[in-house]
Amino acid sequence: MSELNISQATEYALELLGNSGGVAVGEVSDSANIRWANSSLTTNGNSIEQSLSLAAFVDVEGGIACGIASGQIRTRDDVVKLVEKSKASALAAGVAEDANELTAGSQTIDFQKAPATTDLSGLEKVSKDLGQVMKNTDAQYFGFSEISTDTIYLATSAGLRARFEQSSSRFELCAKSIDRSRSSWSGESGISLNNVDVFKHAKMVDQGLVHQKNKIDISPGKHTVTLSPSAVADLMIYLMWTASAREAAEGRSVFSGPAGGTKVGEQLTTRKFNLTSDPKYKGLETISQVISMGSSSFASTFDTGLEIPAVNLIENGTLKALGSSRYTSTLAKLPFTPLADNIIVSDGNGSGDLNQLAARMKDGLLITCLWYIREVDPQSLLLTGLTRDGVYVVKDGEIIGTANNFRFNESPVGMLNRITDAGEPTFCLPREWADWFSRAKVAPLTIADFNLSTKSDAI
Amino acid sequence: MNINPENLAAIALEIVGSSGASVGQVRIARHDTRGIALRDGQVENVASDSSTGLNVRVVHNGAWGFGATTELSEAGVRKAAAAALEMAKISSAVSTDVVDLADEPVHGKVSWRLPVEIDPMQVPDSEVISLLKSWHERVSKHGAVHHVDVQAAMGKDVTFFADLTGNEISQERDRTSASLTAVHVGENGFDDMRTCAPPAGRGYEYLLGTGWDWDEELSRIPEYLDEKTKSPSVEAGLWDLVIDPTNLWLTIHESIGHATELDRALGYEANYAGSSFATIDKLNNFKYGSDIMNVTGDRTAAHGLSTVGFDDEGVAAQKWNLIKDGILVGYQTDRNIAKKIGLSRSNGCAFADSPLHVPIQRMPNVSLQPGKEELSTNDLIGQVERGIYIVGDKSWSIDMQRYNFQFTGQRFYEIRNGKIIGQLKDVVYQSKTPDFWGSMSAVGGKQTYLLGGALNCGKGQPGQTAPVSHGCPSAVFRNINVLNGRAEAGA
C-alpha cells in the first residue's frame, strides 16, 4: 500500500462515512500452503491479501439505510471510491429493517500496529517430514497443509477500535494402496503447524491401510455406527448453521414448533448431550465480538462490536437457544444469540477415545469421516453424504476389516435420540466443512440405526 | 484496471527469466462481484466487492513456484516473483515429479471479451432492487405463498496474462444470475419452490428477459408451489425418469463434468474433491453410457459461464469430445497434465478464481448433445408408461470417485401412460454413474436444449470456486432407483 496502511485506511474510511457513520473492517491475510499427491509435491502458494470492507449507514426517510462495499486499498482515492459505493448502495437499499444503535465499545491501544505475518517454519518442517514419509513405497500419499494469519482492524463510528490476530492451520494426510483398492485419512486443525506430528499421522493412515486388507461386504441398511469426532463435527456444524431463530419462528426450519413458535425448550435427546459455541474456549479461541458485513437471520451489521458470549444451543439434550441478531431475536421473541466461529460437542456420560468407544460398540461400523454432505429435506434436516477413507468393521470390540463405502441419509437432529454411547471430546478437523469452519472439539458418538442408504463403490 | 499491467508483468518476467526459470507466467486480475438480496420484500443486503491482485508462477529446476500479492506496485511484483522462486526451491526438495508443459502456440498481444448488451456492474443498485421488488410483488400476492426470498448476483473478471514466450492476453467476461424462492408454511410443515433460471454468461439484459422468460416463470411459481403442497408423496422403487435440462445439467456436472477432469483421474484431487472412476486406462474403451450419449467439453459456448478466449496458461479456447457414442474419448486438461498422458496440446482448462490462487484444471462447459430426431419433451414423456418428469435442481451429492449420486429437484410430475397426471413430492433419485447413463433411452432434440449452470463449483486446496455451464436436452432414463425423502428421514 503506497499512501496509507490498512489501519489508516480504516480510520480514513470512517472519517469519510461522516455523521451517519458506519463500520469499517480492514483485513490482512498472510498465508502459505503446500499440496501433494501421488507422493510428490504438486502445488504451493504464498500470498498476502489485504482488503477493506465498509458498511455505510445513511439517514433516509423513515430510518437508516445500510450498504456494503469492499475491495483493495492502495491510495486515498480508493478509499473515497469505496465510501461512495457503499453510500450509494445504502441509498438504493432504503430503510434497513435491522437498524440498531452501534455499541460504543472500547479502543484498543494496538490499532496502529502492523499486520501480523505468518511463520513459515512449521510449513517447512511439515514439508521436510513429508519427504521422509513419502519414501515409503508400500503406499502413496496425498494431502494439504496450510498456515494463515489474519489481522483484522475493526472501527465503528460509535468509537470502537479493535484489532484481532487469528492464525489457523490445517494438515491432512491421505494414504492409498498402490493398487488404489484401499484409502485412509487423518487430519488436524489448529493455530500453528509447528506441533504437527507428520509421522504420527503417517502411522495412523498406514495402519488404516493394513486394517483394510480384509474386505468385508456389508449391505446397506440401518447399522450401529461409531462416528469419529470429524464425522460428528461435520453433522453438528450443519445443525448449527440451520439453528436460526428467525427461520424457526417463521415455520421454515426443523426447529420450528409444530403449532407455531420454535422448539426452544424441547428435549431432543435423553442423553446429556451438549452443543456449545464459545469464542474463549481454550484451544479454539476465536474473535469474540460480532463482525458482520451484511445481514442475515444470524447476524446484523448493526450488531458489529457486540460481545459474543458462550452459547449452549443444546444443553443436556434440550434445545436451549437459536442463533440470531438483535433484530431477528425480536422477530423470534427469543434472546439475542450471536454465535462464535467454533463448536464444542460433548456428552455428559461420554468417556474414552474413539478406539475405546468403538470397542464398547462390540459389533458395528467405525466411520472415519464423511463427505459431500448436502441437505435433502429441510423439514427434518435430512442430510445425505458419503462415508470416506475407512469404514471399519468392528466385531466383538475388535476391528476385523473394512466395509465398502456408503451413502447415508440421516438427520443430525433425528439421530440425537439414537445416541447409545459417546467418548470424550477431542480437537478435530471437520473434513467436509474445514474450508469454512475448522475450530472444533467434538466427542465421537455411537448411533443406533444410522441410515446407510445405498452402497458406494468409491475408494 | 488503472495500473499498467504490461509494465508490472515485464518486471516479473525479467526477474524470473534471468533466474533461469523454464516457465514464467504473470497473471493480473480484477474480480468484481455484486449481490442484492430481498427477504419478504425488504432489502436484506446490497453488497459489492472488487478484488485485484497479481501472481507470478514459475517452473524452476522442474518444480512449480507461485507467489501472489494484492500490492500492485513494482515492490509488490518483485516480492511476488521472489516468493515464486523461493517456493519452487522448497518444492524441488520434495517433488519427485518434473513439471513439463504441453506446447501451445504463441498468441502474442491479443484481447477477448464475452459479448454482453448491458454491463451488469454498471446498472445502479436502485434499478436492480426495483426489479427484484416487482418480482416479489407478483409472487407474494398468491394465498399459498407466505414468504419470498429474491436475490441477484453479478460478476465481472478482467484479466491480463503474460509469459516468457511473449504472450500478452487481455480478457473480460461477465455473468448474471437471479433466483426467487416462494415458501409455503402450513399445518403439515413447509415447502418451497424456486425459479429454474440458470446463471448465464450474459449482461444485465438477462434479468430483463433476454435468454430467459422471467414473466412466464414468475407467473407460474405460486401455482407450482400450491400444487406441490397438495401433492402425494412418492412411492419408493424403480421408476422411469424424464429429466428436464433444468435438472439434468447438475447430474451432468457431477457425474460427467468432474469425472472427466484429468487431474482427478491422475489422483491430484484425491485428498480433497476426490478422484475419478474414469481412469486413463479406460480412455477410448470404456462404455460410459448408452449409444446416444455424446458429450463435449467446450470453452467457446455462447453465454457459457466457462467460456473464455484463452485459459489461465495462455491456451486458446477449444471444443472437443469427452464421450462419443457412449464411449469415453477425452478429458479436460491443463498443460502439465496434458503432457503427462502424451497429449501434444492442452485443451485449455487451467483456471484460478483469484489472482492469489494457483491455476488448476477446472471444468469447461460440459454438455450433453441433443438427439438427431427433433423430439420434444412431450414426445419423451409420451414414451413413458410409468414415470416421473423432474424439473429444476435442488439437492445434490456424489461420491469421491463419481459413482454413487443422489439428486432431488424442484418439481416432480407423475407420468402415467405417456401423460402427466400431477405433481409428486419427496422424490429423491439415486444411481451409479455408468448405470444411469447406460439407461438413457432417448434424448430430446435441439428445441429442448438449455444451458444450465452454477457459479460456485468447488475444487482444489486452498478451495477455489468456478462458474460453469452445462447444456443438455431433456432425456429419458429407465428403471432408476427413487427414494422417498421423508421415509429416508424415518418419517
pLDDT tens digits, residue range A156-166? 999 999 999 99
C-alpha dihedral sign at A283, A284, A287, A288: negative
Q: Give kind and range of the element (H or E) at residue B357.
A: none
Nearest residue on chain A to B263, alpha-carbon basis? A37
CB contact under 8 A, A176 and B270: yes
Q: In chain B, what residues touch A1 (CB-CB under 8 Å)?
A: 71
Pairing state of beta strands B386-398 and B360-361?
unpaired
Residues 199-238 of B with CB under 8 A from A: none
Q: What is the pLDDT of residue B103?
A: 97
Q: In chain B, what residues touch A408 (CB-CB under 8 Å)?
A: none
How sure is the predictor about B3, in pLDDT bands with cuts at 50, 70 and 90?
A: low
Residues 78-117 of B with CB under 8 A from A: 83, 86-87, 90-91, 93-97
Tens of pLDDT, residues B113-141: 999 999 999 999 999 999 999 999 999 99
Answer whether A126's CB lies under 8 Å from A141's CB: no
Nearest residue on chain B to A297, alpha-carbon basis? B44
Q: What is the pLDDT of residue B152?
A: 98
CA torsion, ordered B111, B117, B121, B126, to nearest 10 deg = 170
* % chain A with pLDDT above 90: 92
Q: In chain A, what residues touch B402 (CB-CB under 8 Å)?
A: 458
Q: Does B74 touch chain A (CB under 8 A)?
A: no
Reported ipTM: 0.95
Q: Which three cell numbers stand for residue A197?
A: 506430528
Angle (nearest 5°) at CA B31 between B26 and B33 = 175
Answer whether A424's CB lies under 8 Å from A351's CB: yes
Tens of pLDDT, residues B276-322: 999 999 999 999 999 999 999 999 999 999 999 999 999 999 999 99
Pairing state of beta strands B168-186 and B189-194?
antiparallel
Pairing state of beta strands B440-443 and B404-416?
unpaired
Q: Does A267 touch chain B (CB under 8 A)?
A: no
A319, burial (CB in 10 Å: exposed 0-12, middle 13-18, buried 19+): buried
B335 three-class SS: helix
CB contact under 8 A, A375 and B55: no
Q: In chain B, what residues touch A172 (CB-CB under 8 Å)?
A: 271-272
Answer whether B23's CB lies under 8 Å from B138's CB: no
Cα distance from B199 to chain A (closest Cα, Å)? 21
Whether omega before B462 lies within 30 degrees of 0, making that bond cis, reads: yes
Judged against a pLDDT cut of 50, whether residue A1 lies above it is answered with no
CB contact under 8 A, B47 and A67: yes
Angle, nearest 10°, between helix axes A121-133 and B74-94?
A: 30
Answer whether A36's CB lies under 8 Å from A141's CB: yes
For chains A and B, count residue pairs whose Cβ atoms are closer than 8 Å.
267
Once rounded to an integer, what is the mean pLDDT over residues A134-160? 96
Once rounded to an integer, what is the mean pLDDT over residues A365-392? 97
Judged against a pLDDT cut of 50, whether residue B253 lies above it is answered with yes
Answer whether A115's CB lies under 8 Å from A152's CB: no
CB contact under 8 A, A72 and B52: yes
Q: What is the pLDDT of residue A2?
A: 58
B174 three-class SS: strand
CB atoms within 10 A of CB A61: 7
Cα distance from A31 to chain B (closest Cα, Å)? 10
B209, burial (CB in 10 Å: exposed 0-12, middle 13-18, buried 19+): exposed
How much of chain B is in helix, strand and coil states, percent to nearest 5? 25, 40, 35
Read off φ and ψ for residue B50, nearest 5 degrees.
Answer: -135, 120
Q: How far apart are CA A246 and CA A225, in angstroms?
A: 34
In one letter, which amino acid is A203? K
Largest Cα span, chain B? 73
Write the residue in A74, A127, A379 that is nearest to B189 by C-beta: A379
Q: What is the mean pLDDT of chain A?
A: 95
Q: What is the mean pLDDT of chain B?
A: 96
Q: Does B131 touch chain A (CB under 8 A)?
A: no
Q: What is the pTM of this model?
A: 0.97
Q: What is the pLDDT of residue B328?
A: 98
Kindly give, in sequence order, each residue whose CB lies less than 8 Å from that of residue B206, ignoring residues fewer than 6 positions away.
Answer: B176, B200, B212
How far separated are the first and last CA of chain B, in Å rounded?
56
Tens of pLDDT, residues B170-201: 999 999 999 999 999 998 899 999 999 999 99
Residues 103-142 of A with CB under 8 A from B: 124, 127-128, 130-131, 134, 140, 142
Nearest residue on chain A to B80, alpha-carbon basis? A47
Q: What is the pLDDT of residue B209?
A: 98
C-alpha pair distances (Å), A13 with each of A21, A113, A144, A348, B67: 10, 18, 38, 49, 29
Residues 278-337 of B with CB under 8 A from A: none
Q: Which three cell numbers stand for residue A414?
A: 433425528
Q: In chain B, what residues touch A198 (CB-CB under 8 Å)?
A: none
Once rounded to an integer, what is the mean pLDDT over residues B411-424? 98
Q: What is the pLDDT of residue A259?
A: 86
A345 dihedral zone (left: phi>0; alpha: psi -120 to 50; beta): beta
In one letter, which amino acid is B56? V
Q: Which three cell numbers stand for residue A10?
A: 480504516
